[in-house]
Homo-oligomer: A and B are copies of this chain.
Amino acid sequence: MRAFYHPLQATHDPLHFMRHGRVVPAKDSPARIEALLGGLERLGITPDAPAGDLPDARLAVHTTGYLDFLATAWDRWQTLPDHGPEVWPNTFPYWSGRPEELARPDCPAESVVARTGWYLGDLSASLGPRSWESIRESSNTAVAAADAVAGGAGLAYALCRPSGHHARSDRASGFCFVNNTAVAAQRLRGSFNRVAILDVDAHHGDGTQQIFYARRDVLTISIHADPLNYYPFFTGYTGETGYGAGEGFNLNLPLAHGSTGEVMAAALDTAAHCIQQFGADALVVALGFDAHARDPIGVLKLEAVDFGDIGARVRALGLPTLVVQEGGYAVDVLADCLTAFVEG
């Protein structure tokens, strides 16, 4: 297995997020990277750095306005009087759902406060002084791994961080900024006709769903904890099946809170059947480890060994496979989960 990672991905070091009305310490620490690199080392794998910056790969799934915001927000934020230590939104656009609002426009206001609320969709996606270079390189890591798969590597791993699967075409949320999984899947489309995305992070892959919702060339499947009482709350239900040409090409498999590896395995069987029916030529696995029982913000009950089972079921699909790292916040189990998955 080839693996990819860029050292600048560690420079994003968010301070805070908001939870239950309190400002609390961030969960997406750079220590997650050390843990995952430790897992690769145990497997005897040394990751390669991506060759260079490929902004077009990001532009293929995100808007120009959004990417410009991510790259420039920190500098603009410094001009605000009495500003806090991070770019953090405080007000958000409203959509009445009326026909005149059918096209989500770009932010009409100039103010960086406005643009922050437009492009950062919640209080768990703060930007610090060096966040952009991490975000940028995380996406480049995904592209490099996609190119390895396109070049014939049967399996490649992108150690992406920050994560991506909550990022919409024009909005960050949930520790995610550029949707690395979507960037990679789109990149693979240059070499494969039908790409399937299988998201096993404990949270619904709402950004990935949104980006491909009206398309039938990329199948999106997400297995996640029931969003009725779990982030991202507003999406991830079974009724969300795609739109227009994409109708029938999005599958959500919410799991009851407290579900173990056995329940995950049953959902994976359903997903595998769907991927085969779709006739996928290539697979992107959005791999979170926050379904682990010890995850500090988790509600599922998987053990490290269960990620081995996920790995085995992915292998059984027999497809060229790109694994993109998503969440997982129990730092001391990440290496075990990753090695179990890869060995599976």
Contacts and interface: CB of A to CB of B under 8 A. Distances in A.
A80 interface: yes
Interface string A21-57: 1110000000000000000000000000000000000
Interface stretch (A87-95, A190-198, A310-318): A87-95
A301 interface: no
Contacts of A104: 95-97
B171 A85 contact: no
Kindly report how many copies of this chain are found in the complex they form together.
2
Contact of A233 (B21, B109, B232): B109
Contact of A101 (B22, B92, B97): B97
Contact of A121 (B80, B94, B123, B210): B94
Contact of A102 (B19, B97, B124): B97
A108 interface: yes
B95 A22 contact: no
Interface residues of A, number: 66
A interface secondary structure, majority: loop
Nearest to A80: B20
A81 B20 contact: yes
A206 interface: yes
A230 interface: yes
Interface of A: 17-23, 77, 80-88, 90-104, 107-111, 113-114, 117-118, 121-124, 126, 168-169, 171, 173-174, 206, 210, 213-214, 227-235, 237, 243
A126 B168 CA distance: 27
A91 B20 contact: no
A126 B22 CA distance: 12
A84 B20 contact: yes
Contacts of A227: 108-109
A97 B213 CA distance: 12
Contact of A91 (B99, B101, B121): B121
Contact of A210 (B21, B91, B96): B96
A201 B103 CA distance: 30
Contacts of A114: 229, 233-234
A94 B168 contact: yes
A120 to B, nearest CB: 10
A91 B229 contact: no
A216 to B, nearest CB: 15
Given A111-B233, A229-B111, A233-B117, A18 B98 contact: no
A137 to B, nearest CB: 24
